[in-house]
Amino acid sequence: MNDIVIHVENLGKRYRVGQLEPYKTLRDTLVNAVVAPVHAVTSVLHGRPSTTDGSRSDNTIWALKDVSFEVRQGEVVGVIGRNGAGKTTLLKVLTRITTPTEGYAEIRGRVGALLEVSAGFGHPEFTGRENIYLMGAVLGMKRAETDRKFAEIVDFSGVKTYLDTPMKRYSAGMRMRLTFSVAAHLEPEILLVDEVLAVGDAAFQQKCLGRMGEVAQGGRTVLFVSHDMGAIQNLCERCILLEDGRIRNIGRTRDIVNEYLTTSLAISNVPLAERRNEQRRDATLIYTSIEFQNSRGQKLSNLSSGEDTSIVLDYLCKDTQKLEDVKILYTIKRMGENIVALDTELSKNFEEIQGKGRIICNIPRLPLMPGYYSLDIRSYSKRIITNHLYDGVAFYVKEGPFFDSGLMPPDSEARTLVDHSWVLEEG
C-alpha cells in the first residue's frame, strides 16, 4: 500500500561468536583455498557440521531471525524486549549501519536516527560550534538548515558557555548532549530512536522525550526502542515485542507492554530456600520464603492500591548464628527505578535475631499506582551485609479504593499515591 513507509520481510542477522580472524597473508589465503574443500569433506565424514564460510555452525548466533512487520506513515511504533532481544540490531539494519544476513528492509522517505551508538560523535580538536556543522553534515543536514537551527540546537544542548571550546575538553555527558541535540533537530520523514533515555541527566532526558513527542504529533513516522514502559505507553500507538531475535507479538501498546511485563516479571512459585544460587554465597541470614498478605492474614497473589498489606519474610540464621543490630531494607522498584524504600532503620532495627523466624512489614493503605513492580531484599547486622536478593519477588498492583472517588491519576503523572484533602475558603 502507498502509506507503508517501513516494510521488513523475513529479516535475519547472524553474528559469529568468538575471536576475530587473524591477519592472513596472500600465501595463507591460497593455501586455505586448496585445503578448505578437504576440511569440508573430513567434517562430513566425521559427522561435524560445517558452513559455507568454513566456520562451525555452533560459532554463530542469530541476533534477528524471521522478522517481518510494516509501519504506516505517521505511526509511532515502540520496540521492546529484554537485553539481547535484538532491538538495537534491528535499528542498525534499518539505518544501514549493518547489512542483514537474510531477508530485506525497505524504507521510503528521509531517515533520521538518534542511536545510542552514535552518542559522543565529533572531532576532539574542533570546537562545539564547528562540531555542530560537522555532525549536521554527516547526518544529512545542509549548511543553510544548520544555520537556521543553530541557536535552537545550542539552547537544547545546554553547552552554550563552552561553544568555542575544543570538544576534547568536554565531559562525556556534554559530548552526548551536543550530538543528540544536532540529531534531534533533523527534519526526517522517519525517525529511528534507540534508548534516548540513556543520554544525559534527568532534565535532558525529559527534553529528549518532549522533542520526540513534538515529532510524533507532527505526523512523522517514529520507531522507538526503549526500556521505559511509561515513555513507550505515552508515545506509541502500537508496539513490537522482540524475544531472542524473533517477534513474539505485535499489537496495541497497552496489551504488548502488559504481555512483556507479565513474562519478564512473572511471580515465581519456587520457595526462596530453593533459590540459594540467587542469594549471596556468604549469606548469614537466609531468606526461605516471602509472600504478601492482607489485614486478615490471607495470602495475596495481586495487591490493590489502598489496601492494608503486609510483606512476610521467613528467614533462617546460618549455623544457628546469633545476629545483632539487624537492619532489613526493602526497595520497591518499577522498571528498574527505585520507587519506595522500607527500612527498619527509619524506626528501629531488630536488636537480636537467631534460629528461624518471620519478619513482617505492615504497609497501611498501599500507596502504589497500578502496575508491575519488583522487590529487592537486603539485610545487615552491625552494618555488615548479611544477604542481598535482587528482584527477589515480582508483584502486580491493581486499581483499588485508595481515593473515595475510585479514580487514579494518569500513569504519566504519578509513581506513588498520597492521601490528601482540599479546603476552599471564599471571601
Q: What is the pLDDT of residue 302?
A: 82
Q: What is the pLDDT of residue 266?
A: 52
Q: Which three cell numbers stand for residue 366?
A: 498501599
Average confidence (pLDDT) over 244-263: 87
pLDDT band at 202 (very low <50, low <70, confident <90, very high): low
What span, in angstroms and rounded, lies between the C-alpha atoms of 50 and 15? 16
Contact 95, 89 (CB under 8 A): no
Q: Does domain 272-398 have CATH number 2.102.10.10?
A: no
| pLDDT above 80 for 352 | yes
Three-state SS sequence of the chain: CCCEEEEEEEEEEEEECCCCCCCCCHHHHHHHHHHHHHHHHHHHHCCCCCCCCCCCHHHEEEEEEEEEEEEECCCEEEEECCCCCCHHHHHHHHCCCCCCCEEEEEECCCEEEECHHHCCCCCCCCEHHHHHHHHHHHCCCCHHHHHHHHHHHHHHHCCHHHCCCEHHHCCHHHHHHHHHHHHHCCCCCEEEEECHHHCCCHHHHHHHHHHHHHHHHCCCEEEEECCCHHHHHHHCCEEEEEECCEEEEEEEHHHHHHHHHHHHCCCCCCCHHHHHHHCCCCCCEEEEEEEEEECCCCEECCEECCCCEEEEEEEEEHHHCCEEEEEEEEEEEECCEEEEEEEHHHCCCEEEECCEEEEEEEECCCCECCEEEEEEEEEEECCEEEEEEEEEEEEEEECCCCCCCCCCCCCCCCCECCCCCCCCCCC
Q: What is the pLDDT of residue 257?
A: 83
Q: What is the pLDDT of residue 30?
A: 47
Q: What is the pLDDT of residue 351?
A: 92
Tell me which of 120 and 359 has the higher pLDDT: 359
pLDDT tens string 19-62: 554 555 545 554 555 544 544 444 444 444 444 444 444 678 89
Domain ranges of the chain: 62-264, 272-398
Tell me which of 252 and 211 has the higher pLDDT: 252
61-70, 224-233, 312-321, 381-390: which has the minimum mean pLDDT?
224-233
| pTM as predicted | 0.60
Average confidence (pLDDT) over 201-215: 73
Q: What is the pLDDT of residue 306?
A: 94
pLDDT band at 261 (very low <50, low <70, confident <90, very high): confident
What span, in angstroms and rounded, lies between the C-alpha atoms of 183 and 159? 15
The residue whose grid cell reads 513490537 is 240
pLDDT tens string 231-247: 787 788 899 999 999 99
Tell me which of 30 and 229 has the higher pLDDT: 229
Q: What is the pLDDT of residue 116?
A: 59
Domains 62-264 and 272-398 share a fold: no
Q: What is the pLDDT of residue 28?
A: 57
Assign domain 62-264 to its CATH superfamily: P-loop containing nucleotide triphosphate hydrolases (3.40.50.300)
| pLDDT above 70 for 269 | no
Mean pLDDT of the chain: 82
| pLDDT above 90 for 17 | no
Average confidence (pLDDT) over 76-100: 89
What span, in angstroms and rounded, lies between the C-alpha atoms of 212 and 92? 19
pLDDT tens string 92-147: 999 888 899 999 999 998 887 777 544 556 788 999 999 999 988 887 788 999 99
pLDDT tens string 176-194: 788 878 877 877 788 888 8
Question: Which of 21-30, 131-140, 199-208, 257-266 is predicted most confidently?
Answer: 131-140
